[in-house]
Structure 1
């Protein structure tokens, strides 16, 4: 506590912090394993933590539409190896990369255009694509407004063709490719196309539902 107070005074003295800049913000929670081991329990605790801060989000008059809630988790390798095998591919020792993509739900031509851009840019940047995966969801838990604006939610599963590209270098390459994808989509005015997350390390599940509904909507989190 003493060190906190000392650091607080130091920040104020150097004009890098001011109470006037403080505002109410979204509730945020961080759950990790002190043993550094992967565990389903960590995800379950994260979901429970999210549900515990439901009061930090706005609620629409329909009682079910929220202003956004989500969870950021490490990519479960074994889970996605099974999904890769469903596409007819065999996973090797390379990192599994997953992109969580939101597409315009009712515009099938736009969906195909979005997929084409993603596939083209990934291929150009030395990635191999395993395939696309429809993310299983339960729209019944959504409010009316959330359902009206719900996107088509899919995942692209891919890997780097360069086995020496690892960790930060791989993440940087993925980020650069993401920016190219987004720029291409912007150039041809593709509306309602959004890359929620794309990484070899982690994945984000989020939507305009109440925090308590996240695991009911995204069946992957069950």
Structure 2
């Protein structure tokens, strides 16, 4: 331990005794044993919460919000003090919430959970229709059909100037296979669709990025701080958004430039190292 704490039953205050090798309370220990202060580096923050019984509830998303905000110090922000290096959340698809949204807004009936995939795309307003049409064509070529596109509700009033200058136009797709098949085939088809779209649709001057495309989970993310994540995406504070798991991430951009695309790089499983996070991409 760097210091010991002596409690006093008669007083509410505590006395801290610092080891002799620490000249001042704000100084860390020198190199000793396996410890080397040169290895001290900033790092991203990752948190995970789940209901072990698999039951969906809004409480999981509220607990994830508290967890993410508690990790705000693990991320970083730009000189405007309001543009985060990146923050996001991966959650189990809130099927009932999306089904109600599409039914009310577009009169679209979603298949049962697991029979469709969904994901949020980063596009630009000028070319988004063209990109969506190309994605629909690719889906048709793979034996799929696009059920609907939904504009993701956002509130940019609290984010920084740097983030606003590069803010994407967000669209959410819902896609399904035309013929019923095995779970493995579902996952394989959606994986191939995302990969083909990622390689074939982007073009100079046209923004195109897929945050995730899965029949199990959904990713909300952006060039935000951990607390901005919840005000920027109204979906995440809707009481009808229910999930049984949530993985939150806040980014400290140690050796790369911050961007909307690089925030929360976790589509399924993750591992974190000092200053970086790595993702294992699974369908």
Q: Same fold (TM over 0.5)?
A: yes
Is 1:200 aligned to 2:215, yes or no? yes
Q: Is the 8 A contact 1:133 1:155 kept in 2?
A: yes
1:91 to 78, 89, 110: 110
CA distance in structure 2 between the aligned counterparts of 1:157 and 1:143, rounded to whole angstroms:
30
- Of stretches 110-119 and 144-153 in structure 1, the one that deviates more from structure 2 is 110-119
> Aligned ranges for residues 75-114 of structure 1 at < 5 Å?
75-85=93-103, 86-93=105-112, 95-105=115-125, 108=126, 110-114=127-131
Q: CA deviation at 1:92?
A: 3.6
Structure 1 equivalent of residue 148 of structure 2? 131
- Quote the Cα distance in structure 2 between the aligned partners of 1:163 and 1:180: 22
How far the C-alpha of 1:193 sits from its partner, in A, is 1.1
Residues 190 and 182 of structure 1: CA distance in aligned 2, closer, same or farther (over 3 Å): farther
Determine the C-alpha separation between the residues in 2 that align with 1:170 and 1:77: 17
Q: Shift in Å at residue 164 of structure 1?
A: 1.8
The 3-state SS of whatever aligns with 2:115 is: coil
On the 8 A contact 1:101/1:194 being kept in 2, the answer is yes
What is residue 187 of structure 2 aligned with on the other side? Answer: 171
1:54 aligned partner: 72
Q: Secondary structure at the match of 2:223?
A: strand
Residue by residue over 1:32-64, the C-alpha shift from the partner in whole angstroms, topping out at 9 and shown as x without a partner, is 012221111111111211111111111112111
Q: Which residue of 1 aligns with 2:5?
A: none
Specify the SS of the correspondent of 2:211: strand
Partner of 1:65: 83
2:135, 2:201 within 8 Å by CA — same for their partners in 1? Answer: no
Contact 2:143–2:178 (CA under 8 A) maintained in structure 1: yes
Paired residue secondary structure (2:212): strand
Deviations 1:59-108 (A, max 9, x none): 11211101000000000110111133232332344623212100124xx1
CA distance in 1, matches of 2:148, 2:54: 31
Local SS of the residue matching 1:163: coil
Alpha-carbon contact 1:65-1:144 (below 8 Å) kept: yes
Kept in 2, the 8 Å contact 1:114–1:190? The answer is no
Structure 1 residue ranges, 4+ long, deviating more than 6 angstroms after superposition: 19-22
Q: 1:156 to 1:60 in 2, by over 3 A?
A: same
Q: Is 1:219–2:234 an aligned residue pair?
A: yes
Residue 33 of structure 1: which of 51, 62, 67 is its match? 51
The structure where helix makes up a greater share of residues is 1
Structure 1 Cα separation of the partners of residues 227 and 199 of structure 2: 34
Larger radius of gyration: 2
Task: Single out whichever of 34-43 and 140-149 deviates more from structure 2.
Answer: 34-43
The question of 1:140 aligning with 2:157 is answered: yes
Q: Secondary structure at the match of 1:199?
A: coil
Q: What do you get for the CA RMSD once the two structures are aligned?
A: 2.0
- Superposed displacement of residue 149, structure 1: 0.6
Match of 1:154 in 2: 171
Distance 1:41 1:146 in 2: 29
- Contact 1:84–1:130 under 8 Å retained in 2: no
Partner of 1:12 in structure 2?
none
